[in-house]
Amino acid sequence: MSANSADPTGGSDAALVAPDAALEVVLVKAGRTKIRYPADLLHDDGTRVTVRAAWAGEGVRDFGFVRFEAGDVFIEHYWRDRWYAVKEVRDGAGTLKGWYCDITRPATVSATPSGTELVVEDLDLDLWRSADGSAVLRLDEDEFAASGLAQTAPEAASAAVAALDELEALARGGGFEALLS
């Protein structure tokens, strides 16, 4: 299975997000909701959904190579047929900090009584690319190994690793611009 193939067991959901719908992004990890936050729809072509959201975490999150904090704005790109999400991170003044990439199952979109949910399942692997491209970091490979996904869902684990490899190649080769345009 390639990194760009939707999970045949999970299926992809091609319902378009209505432009005026109340939209919430829901990040699920290990079967539980990790975070839920409102976002503004920027684009939905049936394959990729792009939203804008303010930093939804509590307080400051300092990774050592970047800080996420109040005022930061994320332009988030989710695919219904790819195993990752790419989040452009800018500070409150609009200065690009870089791109934080989550390795996830393909995104699903569904209507709820209160609006629309965009749901992604986080598979632990992440990638960071600094604004100037000088730093490309593979993150949380230890968490991914400890998750046991390779034993419980080997096809999903293989797709996740392939997605991380693909994103790293794009980040190092300058392919993010083409991916996000």
pTM of the model: 0.89
Question: How many Å apart are CA 76 and CA 79, to the nearest integer?
Answer: 10
Q: How confident is the model at residue 14 (pLDDT cuts 50, 70, 90)?
A: low
- Backbone conformation region of residue 175, classed left if phi is above 0, alpha if psi is from -120 to 50, else beta: alpha
List of domains in the chain? 23-180 (2.40.380.10)
pLDDT tens-digit readout, 103-126: 999 999 999 888 899 999 999 999
User: What's the pLDDT at 58?
Assistant: 82
Task: Specify the pLDDT at position 21.
Answer: 76
Which of 155, 174, 139, 156 has its CA nearest to residue 66?
A: 139
Q: How many CA atoms lie within 13 A of 154 on its CB side?
A: 1
Contact (Cβ atoms closer than 8 angstroms) between residue 135 and residue 128: yes
